[in-house]
């Protein structure tokens, strides 16, 4: 269903087109109704009432050590535009979030038809974005309308600690815990100390598989026929680490997760 048909079906088209007087009332966004922290896992795969949108089943943890978890809201795209958003919970605030219980909306100079709105209560953040030609609808109004529906749903969830939030690390500490390795063909990396539970990201150039294993005790850390990917690695000491690859060169990044 296109965004315009959806607007008509929900009775909001009259709010968008000023020439049509239907007396409909927009939902007001009420950030203070949000729980200060919430388990976003309960939103996975859930439909957003009165919209064609549904929350994704996968969770997004952002950059390494960010200490946040996010679930995206997916909506059908149309040639006229579309809707998207997310619900996010942080362990700590980064300083880039909107002020408590405020609504921050802005356009995008690179995409004049796009408008994005954010709101926050405690550690819970809701984002909503809309894009559509200005002659058909007002993208800021649509973003606010989508946000109001998301807030209404999230407000029904109990307040609880973010059990799915990964550990937070400051940028300086993240840099200290991050390790980078590169090479060609087989290469011995020796002993690698992984201080915290981490993630290995790897890429083989231009193509080829990769195998990473330890010699004491013998353990395969990564074995992948694809030229790029990632794998979790637990904290610990890994001795006699060896990398083998069928590509011309390879690159490894170990970073906290």
Q: Residue 199: is its pLDDT beyond 80?
A: yes
Question: Band of the pLDDT at 27, cuts 50, 70, 90?
Answer: low
Q: What are phi and psi of 19, to 5 degrees?
A: -70, -15
Rounded percentage of the chain residues whose pLDDT exceeds 90: 61
pLDDT value at position 168? 82
Give the alpha-carbon dihedral of 219, 243, 177, 205, to 10 degrees.
-140
Strands (DSSP E) found in 195-234:
198-205, 210-215, 218-224, 228-233
Of 42, 66, 68, nearest to 55 (Cα)? 42
- CB-based contacts of 128, cutoff 8 Å, min separation 6: 73, 83, 84, 85, 116, 117, 143, 144, 146, 147, 150
What tens digit of pLDDT does each residue of 78-125 get? 777 899 999 999 988 888 899 999 999 999 888 888 999 999 999 999
Mean pLDDT of the chain: 85
User: Which residues touch 234 (CB under 8 Å, ≥6 apart)?
Assistant: 194, 197
**Confidence tier at 1 by pLDDT (50, 70, 90):** very low
Looking at residue 7, what is its pLDDT? 35
Name the residue with higher pLDDT: 23 or 217: 217
Strand partners for 90: 68
Say if CB 223 and CB 194 are below 8 A apart: no
So what's the pLDDT on residue 120? 96
For position 111, what pLDDT does the model report? 84
Residue 181: which pLDDT band, with cuts at 50, 70 and 90?
very high
Mean pLDDT across the stretch 230-256? 93
pLDDT reported for residue 257: 78
In the prediction, which pLDDT does 24 show? 35
């Amino acid at each position: 269903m296109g965004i315009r048909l959806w607007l008509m079906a929900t009775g909001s088209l009259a709010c968008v087109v000023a020439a049509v007087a239907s007396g409909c009332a927009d939902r007001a966004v009420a950030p203070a109704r949000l729980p200060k922290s919430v388990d976003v896992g309960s939103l996975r795969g859930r439909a957003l009432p009165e919209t064609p949108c549904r929350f994704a089943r996968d969770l997004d943890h952002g950059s390494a050590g960010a200490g946040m978890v996010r679930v995206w809201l997916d909506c059908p795209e149309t040639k006229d535009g579309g809707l998207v958003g997310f619900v996010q919970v942080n362990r700590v605030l980064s300083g880039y979030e909107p002020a408590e219980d405020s609504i921050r909306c802005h356009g995008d100079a690179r995409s004049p038809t796009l408008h994005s709105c954010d709101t926050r209560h405690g550690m819970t953040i809701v984002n909503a974005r809309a894009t559509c030609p200005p002659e058909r609808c007002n993208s800021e109004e649509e973003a606010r309308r989508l946000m109001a529906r998301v807030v209404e749903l999230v407000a029904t969830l109990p307040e609880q600690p973010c059990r799915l939030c990964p550990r937070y690390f400051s940028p300086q500490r993240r840099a200290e815990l991050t390790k980078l390795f590169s090479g060609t063909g087989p290469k011995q990396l020796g002993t690698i100390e992984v201080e915290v539970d981490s993630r290995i990201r790897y890429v083989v150039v231009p193509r080829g598989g990769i195998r990473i294993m330890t010699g004491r005790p013998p353990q395969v850390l990564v074995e992948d026929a694809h030229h790029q990917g990632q794998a979790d690695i637990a904290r610990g000491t890994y001795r006699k680490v060896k990398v083998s690859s069928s590509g011309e060169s390879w690159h490894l990044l170990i970073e906290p997760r």
